Amino acid sequence: MNEIPQITPQELRKRLAAGEELVLIDVREEDEVAFGMIPGAQHIPMGQIPQQTEKLPSDTEIIFICRSGNRSQRVCEYLQQFGIQGSNLSGGMIEWDDTSAE
């Protein structure tokens, strides 16, 4: 198993502000995303990832997001076996919300 790349909320904000084309996928549940998502993110609950695997782009960086970074880390590990390289938003939405005040 390869090491999963991690991206910090601060780094992600910089890259989005710079206009980078990133694919953001939020793997939280319906009731969690109701509280807000990163602008431009797509919502695919973790349990639906296996059925959605073919729809994920293989030629562009995908950043997976959850509440704390644990579920998105597991999604990245799962997708590795299909040759899909994802990055994990370390600290998840908890840290993202913390950096919004900066």
Q: What does the pLDDT read at residue 79?
A: 95
State pLDDT tens for residues 7-64.
999 999 999 999 998 999 999 999 999 999 999 999 999 999 999 999 998 788 899 9
The closest alpha carbon to 65, from 51, 75, 52, belongs to 75
- Look up the pTM and report it: 0.93
Q: Which of 98, 94, 88 is nearest to 6 (CA)?
A: 88
- 64, β-bridge pairs: 25, 88
Q: Is 80 exceeded by the pLDDT of residue 101?
A: no
Q: Distance between CA atoms of 90 and 66, rounded to whole angstroms?
A: 9
Question: What are the tens digits of pLDDT across the range 75-95?
Answer: 999 999 998 989 999 999 999
- Alpha carbons 4 and 8: distance in angstroms, whole number: 13
3-state class (DSSP) for residue 53: helix
- Residues involved in catalysis: 66
Q: What is the DSSP letter of 89?
A: E
